[in-house]
Amino acid sequence: MPLGRVNYILIALGTLVIAASFGIMFLEKDVDGVFALFVSPVTLTAAYAGIAFAVLYRPKTKKSS
C-alpha cells in the first residue's frame, strides 16, 4: 500500500480538526464572531496543510549495510 498506518492516522486527525472547526463556526452562528474571523482560518489552514503532509509523508527506511 502506498500509505501506511501513520498516514491514515494523520489524515483522520486532520479531518476531525476540519469537522470540528466547521462545527464550532456553525454553533457560533455569528459571521463577525471571534472564532469565525480569527481562530477558524488558522485551524482550517493548519488542518489542510497537515492532510497534505500526511499524504506526502514517507517514513525513513533503514539502510542495510
Q: According to the model, what pLDDT value does residue 9 have?
A: 95
C-alpha separations of 61 from 25, 52, 64 in Å: 41, 21, 9
- Reading the chain (65 residues) residue by residue, the pLDDT tens digits are 788 899 999 999 999 999 999 999 999 888 888 888 999 999 999 999 999 999 999 877 777 66
Q: What is the pLDDT of residue 64?
A: 67
Q: How many CB atoms lie within 10 A of CB 30?
A: 11
- Report the alpha-carbon distance of residue 9 to residue 35 in Å, rounded: 26
Query: pLDDT at position 3, please?
Result: 87
Q: Tell me the Cα Rg of the chain.
A: 16
For residue 1, the model assigns a pLDDT of: 73
